[in-house]
Amino acid sequence: MSALRHLVHPDADAVAAAAATAVARHLTERIAAAGRATLSLTGGSVGVKTAAALATSDVEWERVTIFFGDERFVSADHAERNDRQLDEVLLDHLGDRPTVHRWPARTAQDADVDAAAAQFLGSLALPAGDAPIFDVTLLGMGPEGHIDSIFPDSPAVAETERLVVGVRDCPKLPPERMTFTLPAVRRSRHVLVVASGEGKAEAVARGLEGAAPSDWPVAGAVGTESTTYHLDEGAASGLG
């Protein structure tokens, strides 16, 4: 069972700085042990802040493979794409040092989100069986406990086998997305959840107490070695 803990920081900037330090440490340890490391990044306000803090981390980025936990199924130049936001704060600073796997973009010729998700999965050489896919997974979280594009009571949260799915009728715009599923997230050595604000307090409490993932998807996001919530005081306000 993954070690589950939470750490409370003064504000969102401190959450991001602490999470970035932990991500860099895990990556460096894995590189020392195996020669390479894999990282799954997240969007969202604190996720982007964490990525920005990573830009100055002393990591051998040429030995790191980067994924994005989910992506909006929009055109490549759309402002709402996660990779565009993360390019600005991190990847543009790293240049071509890491290997980066980007989700497909929507085009006039390729407009089916399920086909795009299947195409993306087919392009990856992921470890077989139950072997870890990610050494580190960084996750933001919505007030209803969604992670990546896995929302409560959705087909994505009910998925038990496929590692990647297309998402339709997403409750947040844009409505079509692609996401790694909980079976993929659980094949992470270390999971870090970052959250700030009192609006996240109930989801944090439900996640840490092990609620049903169908109701609170964050509760299903556990690493094989560690699961750590980095929280500001507002996000931690629902904890006893």
Whether the CB-CB separation of 24 and 138 falls below 8 Å is answered with no
- Determine the pLDDT at residue 240: 79
- Determine the pLDDT at residue 107: 96
The residue extents of the domains of the chain are 23-232
pLDDT band at 3; cut points 50, 70, 90 = confident
Average pLDDT of the segment spanning 161-183: 96
240 vs 4, higher pLDDT: 4
Cα–Cα distance, 195 to 193 (Å, whole number): 7
Chain segment 26-78, per-residue pLDDT in tens: 999 999 999 999 999 999 999 999 999 999 999 999 999 999 999 999 999 99
What is the CATH architecture of 23-232? 3-Layer(aba) Sandwich (3.40)
The residues near 205 (Cβ < 8 Å, ≥ 6 apart) are: 238, 239
Whether 1 shows a pLDDT value over 80: the answer reads no
SS3 for 67?
strand
pLDDT band at 153; cut points 50, 70, 90 = very high
Cα–Cα distance, 198 to 181 (Å, whole number): 26
pLDDT band at 22; cut points 50, 70, 90 = very high
Query: Quick one: tokens of 234?
Result: 């507002």
Neighbouring C-alpha atoms within 13 Å toward the C-beta of 61 = 17
